Structure 1
Amino acid sequence: TALISGFSSLPWLVKPLYGFISDSFPLFGYRRRSYLVLSGLLGALSWSLMATFVGSKYGAVVCILIGSLSVAFSDVVVDSMVVERARGESQAISGSLQSLCWGSSAFGSIVSSYFSGSLVDAYGVRFVFGITALLPMITSAVAVLVKEQHVPGPTRGQNVLLANPSFLESSRENIIQLWNAVREPNVFLPTVFIFFWQATPQSDSAVFYFTTNKLGFTPEFLGRVKLVTSVASLVGVGLYNGLLKRVPLRKIFLATTIIGTAFGMTQVLLVTGLNRQLGISDEWFAIGDSLILTVLGQVSFMPVLVLAAKLCPEGMEATLFATLMSISNGGSVVGGLLGAVLTQVFGVTKDKFDNLSSLIILCNLSSLLPLPLLGLLPEDDSEIVSNENVDIEMKSN
């Protein structure tokens, strides 16, 4: 299981590479549409093989790796399409586009969480794999309808790299443009904030072991919690889109960080058993806690997506957005590692939880540390638009 999980995550580690390929090398005359169709076909192939022929763990690893590559590549392409459509728009419009995408993702997660377990019990694993194979095919079919300007490519029989040096020149220019974009203060400084905001220590793993080994939460109950968190993600997206998409980014980060820190402390009640003294069972408390924290987490993450989309220059949408998201994910990895170190320092193990309350308190308080860096973010939407106009003027000159 660990081997399969590790291999499935590999394609997600090089998302900027997919963005660079999509930006620099049009496929059949299109930078987005063709790669989206190809990703869907790869995903359908991998899950079809899982539903029919695959019978060994090595075959399963290969198919899951291909399926993960399909999802990661299509994720980059779709992100770039959203960035292209959000360029020049207000923060509210950009927020609506991101809300539509992440709301759709949350809705899909709700459907899969609700039906996957029952379908496996009723019809078996291979039947579910077969159903899963149909979904990437739908993606490929819908991708054909995407409106995109045709990009002239090499003539038939020519080698893309050798016979058409413009592709090499374009690739070189894209690398230079990416480097110049990342060095721009209006891109670099917000990226620094996003990294440190994600890099604070996390106690999730220790709390997970406590709920399973100490409280005895079953996989079935954890599946229900997963369903609740999927619904909470959809609620968070709707809350942001309906009420917060016009609120300045600094205010959203400040409010969600402080409120999230306060509600994160409620896990101490679960660890110490105070929730039972208040007449709330462990199960209901865990569900309510996950619901609130997921809503806050989704509300606070939406501005990250909006900000990243607004920072991407023309022609580098896929590459730079994927790079910014990779930096954000890198911050999360650092936060997980710091949390693991603190877990060791406090002597918390999968069977020993004496200092878990102290660990939770410290990790939650550390979430406040990036707040002094809020000044690195643009003050309001007009500042972002102004920076975009400067970039356009520089390109024109």
Structure 2
Amino acid sequence: MFPLSIASQSPVTKLSPDNPKIQIFPSNKLSRLKPVTCSLHKKNPNTINKPSKPKTYPFSSILIAPDQVSPKKGKISRGYEERRGFGHLGSQQMLALCGFGYWMQGFRCFPWLALNFHMAHNLNLHSSTLQLLQNCGNFPMVAKPLYGILSDALYTGGAHRIPYILVGVFLQVLAWGPLALIPVAREALGILMACILISNLGASITEIAKDALVAEYGQKNRIGGLQSYAFMALAVGGILGNLLGGCFLQKTPPKTMFLVFSVLLSLQLAFSSTVREKSLGLSEPSDHNLVKKSIWENIRKQISDLKTALNDDNISCPLTWIVASIATVPVLSGSIFCYQTQCLHFDPSIIGMSRAIGQLILLSMTIIYDRFWKEVPVRKLVSAVQFLYACSLLLDLVLVRQINLKLGIPNEVFACCFSGLAETLAQFKLLPFSMLLASLCPQGCEGSLTSFLASSLCLSSIVSGFLGVGLASLIGITSGNYSSLPVGILIQFLAALLPLGWIHRLPMSKPIVEKERRRGMSKRTRKNRRVGRVVLGSIYVYHRERESDSQR
């Protein structure tokens, strides 16, 4: 950055004291000026009508708008920040808001681990009943498209993301607070189920608002790695939640863990209320649009935009594949959990450690994906992950058959290292689809499309859970009889291989929209590198000189 003395708003042109060739003009005069061209016309008398060869000098007269000069940041630091995605408006607030939000989303395993042990041991629920309650509690998440459409269409105080985050966090406080402070809320199954539904309702609203915020901010500032950053924060929260959950359960009752999580939710509520969407540089509705369009017109428009987006094969084909790949696999999570705690007598620390290691693997895979695997075709990457997921389901068969003991591996060590691998791969499989759909999402439809994706995934998980409950009842898995559990695990393995049969629905190369976007960026980059045009942040410097070969 050249050291400049900024001229006042005066029609008089001033020279920089450091370099007299640099002329500083006020911004109101800049539009009437043309690039200064300095030429030395010394023609060879022996040459007639021969064009001279241009030669560019490193410094010539420069036109600079003083109100566009940033005295704090130079070209190198600004360029580095923009390449990393941290030089945009409100980037630090955005990173803090989404980082803490996704960390809290991953940390939800902390109270849920306590809730599962409370229902299994204190309430003595059957394994199938436990899994049924878990899946029924997810029903509020099926309505995520409604929350997404409302988030896109309805503005509150000029904002349409952060207010929904606040509402969702507040609902979670209302759910976990009574579970921590009111004994009857933990003992009565009806009240307990109501608190679970309210908690998942608040979590679903918060997740949709955060996902839409990440998609909208990433598209506006052309940042493609925010989803990976969100997955990293989610994994870190899962690691700490499972580790601390196992330790807390050994020393404190579940109500203490509910109280700790309620306090953290209150902190998230207080922090999110201090952030304004205007400071993030997001678009606000104009007064004309607010007056012209009613609420129902906005909602109908969002529904129409969502239908248009879903009719695109680039979006519908990957979406149907990921939903079908989850719904076709019957999950036996409740039976596996009860088998580990009742037959193998695992304490909470072992369960928490196994899930924490799984989240650590998820974090590592997310970092590797962000650095090396983003350019891998979606079909190739997802097919490999799906096959590994199917194989990882057989690790539960090794534990049930006690094959690990024949290999000299204790049950606790094997469970810590391998029990959470299948769940980790199932979570990681969602990352490429989140990146793909976020890049293809039409502008103004971020909340609707991301919520539809989340709702579809939740509905497919519920279907998978119900299929697992039906499979467990069909083959005779009960709390005192787990002899049929190996058969159920083998059926899981075969069902997980079925989605590979329609893997052709996934794109093998990047969609055309993303290619055009990258091509446009590369054209602008090449344009800015032309000789004769130097870009210093928002300062444009034009210099041209021509010199003829002179004879002496």
Q: Same fold (TM over 0.5)?
A: yes
Match of residue 509 from structure 2: 380
**So what's the TM-score if we normalise by structure 2?**
0.60
Is residue 253 from structure 1 mapped to residue 387 from structure 2 by the alignment?
no
Give the alignment of 1:201-280 within 5 angstroms: 201-205=329-333, 206-280=335-409
Shift of 1:49: 5.9
Is residue 349 from structure 1 mapped to residue 481 from structure 2 by the alignment?
no
Give the alignment of 1:330-345 within 5 angstroms: 330-345=459-474
Task: Give the RMSD, CA atoms, in angstroms.
Answer: 3.4
Shift of 1:331: 2.0
Assess, with a 3 A threshold, how the Cα gap between structure 1 residues 223 and 289 changes in structure 2: closer, same or farther.
same
Rounded to whole Å, the distance in 2 between the matches of 1:281 and 1:107 is 27
8 Å CA contact 1:87, 1:310 repeated in 2: yes
Residue of 249, 274, 284 corresponding to 1:150: 284
Moved more, 257-266 or 12-21: 257-266
Residue of 495, 499, 519 corresponding to 1:370: 499
Rounded to whole Å, the distance in 2 between the matches of 1:71 and 1:189 is 27
Give the match's secondary structure for 2:212: helix
Moved more, 182-191 or 80-89: 80-89
AA aligned opposite 1:190 = P
Rounded to whole Å, the distance in 1 between the matches of 2:253 and 2:341 is 26
Shift of 1:144: 3.7
Sequence identity (%): 26
Residues 345-392 of structure 1 deviation map (CA, whole Å, 9 limit, x = unaligned): 433333333333232223112212111322212222244526999xxx
AA aligned opposite 2:153 = S
Match of residue 186 from structure 1: 314
Match of residue 184 from structure 2: 56
Residue of 417, 424, 427 corresponding to 1:298: 427
AA aligned opposite 1:211 = Q
Moved more, 144-153 or 60-69: 60-69
Assess, with a 3 A threshold, how the Cα gap between structure 1 residues 202 and 356 changes in structure 2: closer, same or farther.
same
Assess, with a 3 A threshold, how the Cα gap between structure 1 residues 374 and 387 changes in structure 2: closer, same or farther.
farther
Assess, with a 3 A threshold, how the Cα gap between structure 1 residues 218 and 191 changes in structure 2: closer, same or farther.
same
Give the count of matched residue pairs. Answer: 379
Rounded to whole Å, the distance in 2 between the matches of 1:220 and 1:10 is 30
Give the match's secondary structure for 1:370: helix
8 Å CA contact 2:385, 2:429 repeated in 1: yes
Residues 17-36 of structure 1 deviation map (CA, whole Å, 9 limit, x = unaligned): 11111111101111112322
Compare CA radii of gyration and give the structure with the larger one. Answer: 2
Rounded to whole Å, the distance in 2 between the matches of 1:204 and 1:59 is 26
The structure where strand makes up a greater share of residues is: 2
What runs of 5+ residues in structure 2 fail to find an aligned partner? 1-118, 120-129, 519-552
Assess, with a 3 A threshold, how the Cα gap between structure 1 residues 210 and 123 changes in structure 2: closer, same or farther.
closer
Residues 12-70 of structure 1 deviation map (CA, whole Å, 9 limit, x = unaligned): 23111111111111011111123223434444565556666x45327776665544433
Is residue 169 from structure 1 mapped to residue 297 from structure 2 by the alignment?
yes
**So what's the TM-score if we normalise by structure 1?**
0.81
Assess, with a 3 A threshold, how the Cα gap between structure 1 residues 294 and 130 changes in structure 2: closer, same or farther.
closer
Assess, with a 3 A threshold, how the Cα gap between structure 1 residues 172 and 341 changes in structure 2: closer, same or farther.
same
Shift of 1:313: 1.8
Is residue 26 from structure 1 mapped to residue 155 from structure 2 by the alignment?
yes
Is residue 77 from structure 1 mapped to residue 179 from structure 2 by the alignment?
no
Rounded to whole Å, the distance in 2 between the matches of 1:256 and 1:214 is 31
Rounded to whole Å, the distance in 2 between the matches of 1:264 and 1:46 is 34
8 Å CA contact 1:200, 1:335 repeated in 2: yes
Give the match's secondary structure for 2:328: coil
What runs of 5+ residues in structure 1 fail to find an aligned partner? 390-397
Assess, with a 3 A threshold, how the Cα gap between structure 1 residues 257 and 351 changes in structure 2: closer, same or farther.
same
Rounded to whole Å, the distance in 2 between the matches of 1:107 and 1:40 is 19
Match of residue 318 from structure 1: 447
